Amino acid sequence: MLNKIETKYLKGIINKYSKRTEVSKFIHPLHNNAFSNEDILAGVEVLLSQKLTMSKITEEFEYEFAKFIGSKYALMVNSGSSANLLASFALINPKKQNRLKIGDEFLIPSICWSTSLWPLIQCGLKPKFIDVNIDNYCLDETLINEKILKKIKAIVTIHILGNSSNIKKISDIAKKKNIFLIEDACEALGSKYNSKYLGTYGDFGTYSFYYSHPITSGEGGMVICNKKEDYEIIYSLRAHGWDRGLKTSSKKSQFNFINSGFNLRPMDLTAAIGLSQFKNLGSMMNVRALNRQKIINKMKNSKNWDNQYTFFEPNKNVKPSWFGIPIIINKINRTNKNRFMNYLNKNGIETRPILSGNFLNQPSAKLYKLNPENLKFDNAQMIEDKGFFIGLPTQNISEKKLNYLSEKLMDVGKFQNIIDF
């Protein structure tokens, strides 16, 4: 631990450096400077300790995370993608009861992320895509029926931009049919459905601490579960397949390999920064929610407002952890939407598509023939054609910036009716 004099000295250095750091080229970036002085000091302490991986600070973060989220176990990894990888490979592991087998099918929404999908395919499982709900961009549980579930052995839900479909209903279906459920909550840390945190309804919940996510450690992720069997599987898979550190370890050797494995271990540096950020999750959520409402209100109160946009509101059961504002442009085609996004980027407002868009349009989906029946997913396609999102800062947004955002976003009318000849 640093003493008071050392802490004061380092804070002085950090303050001087922060004034010299390069300012973003964006007036309104997708994410702002994420690290506080306390976060940086936490990282410095780890570096000075020379304990760089898998020491007490990582265990402390895992313990605090599980306690907060309401799960029995939490395991930190080096990214949200790695969290999905562990959850996926746990489902086919020989140590798991009723494990899945090569060729088994899983259900996944047509708007998804690459590394929510591919680990399961890499396990030898077959994807079955389902459309999303137009009101929240997540898996549409109303489309789940006996015909769809006939061969389904696992379901993957993706809580896009902190939101959720009726995860309780999906969870109930999975339990009734003995179907495994993975919740990808990489964008939804802190979000709740029926006062229960997203990620805790399934067999596994996965989270990301990437730079633009609800909290960040630069890179990093977490997997949660409630079964001891599942925890021991992902624990050994995380680090080479050995049992070192497990309470059930034989302790005959530090190199006792009980399973297959990867190297997905996090650094203590990221654990220390993540834990420091985690303590401020609630305050950051509140500021983002307030900024979201300010931006939407400013636009709707503009003299130029003419229902150019649709902003979805979560249903009464969902309390989102917003970190961006998803926006649908009414009355625009895909080409003109892309032109408008470029216009916003050039004018200092950073934009991004909503996740992958309709994933079946991605080159990799075509390369691996993931949609052999050429099925259509109308809602996913509409969101890809008309949707984008902008960021939400963790500091209170100024009136000057609000006015600028509103002015530029109201320029969408210049792009809605462009005709190419």
Average pLDDT of every residue of the chain: 92
| Inter-residue contact 75 to 235 (CB < 8 Å) | yes
144 and 285 housed in the same domain: no
Tell me which of 16-25, 198-207, 358-367 is least confident. 16-25
CA-closest candidate to residue 309, choices 298, 321, 320: 298
Place of tokens 């490979």: 89
Q: Which two tokens stand for residue 54?
A: 């898998």
* pLDDT band (50, 70, 90) for residue 17: low
Place of tokens 């450096």: 17
* pLDDT band (50, 70, 90) for residue 386: very high
* pLDDT band (50, 70, 90) for residue 174: very high
Boundary-marking domain end, from 237, 262, 278: 278
269 and 360 housed in the same domain: no
269 and 300 housed in the same domain: no
Boundary-marking domain end, from 233, 256, 278: 278
- Alpha helix ranges (H) inside 160-314: 167-176, 228-238, 268-278, 281-300
**213 is known as an active-site residue:** yes
Per-residue pLDDT tens over the stretch 193-206: 999 999 999 999 99
268 and 181 housed in the same domain: yes
78 and 150 housed in the same domain: yes
342 and 269 housed in the same domain: no
Domain count, the chain: 2
Catalytic residue among 28, 31, 159, 213: 213
298 and 229 housed in the same domain: no
Q: Is residue 106 part of a domain?
A: yes
Strand order in the sheet with 192-193: 196-197, 192-193, 318-319
| Inter-residue contact 159 to 138 (CB < 8 Å) | yes
Q: Is residue 318 part of a domain?
A: yes
251 and 311 housed in the same domain: no
Q: Which two tokens stand for residue 339?
A: 């032109």
Could you write out the DSSP letters of every residue in 118-185? Answer: HHHHHTT-EEEEEPBPTTTSSB-GGG--HHHHTTEEEEEEE-GGG--S-HHHHHHHHHHTT-EEEEE-
Q: Is residue 329 part of a domain?
A: yes
Cβ neighbours for 48, distance < 8 A, ≥ 6 positions apart: 2
pLDDT exceeds cutoff 50 at 59:
yes
The number of helices, as runs of H, and strands, as runs of E, in the chain is 14, 14
Q: Is residue 362 part of a domain?
A: yes
pLDDT exceeds cutoff 90 at 53:
no
In angstroms, the Cα distances linking 94 to 51, 293, 352 are 34, 49, 40
The predicted structure's pLDDT at residue 19: 57
Cβ neighbours for 78, distance < 8 A, ≥ 6 positions apart: 219, 220, 221, 264, 265, 266, 267, 270
C-alpha 280/C-alpha 273 separation (Å) is: 11
The predicted structure's pLDDT at residue 323: 83
Please report, for the domain that includes residue 72, its CATH number. 3.40.640.10
179 and 230 housed in the same domain: yes
256 and 299 housed in the same domain: no
C-alpha 206/C-alpha 189 separation (Å) is: 9
Domain containing 339: what range? 281-414
Q: Is residue 396 part of a domain?
A: yes
Q: Is residue 250 part of a domain?
A: yes
C-alpha 212/C-alpha 193 separation (Å) is: 22
Boundary-marking domain end, from 239, 255, 278: 278
Indicate the residue type of 174: A
The predicted structure's pLDDT at residue 16: 62
Q: What is the pTM of this model?
A: 0.94
174 and 320 housed in the same domain: no
Q: Which two tokens stand for residue 118?
A: 């591919």
Region 125-148: what's the mean pLDDT? Answer: 96
Please report, for the domain that includes residue 310, its CATH number. 3.90.1150.10
User: What DSSP state is assigned to residue 28?
Assistant: B
62 and 211 housed in the same domain: yes
Half-sphere exposure of 403 (CA within 13 A, CB side): 3
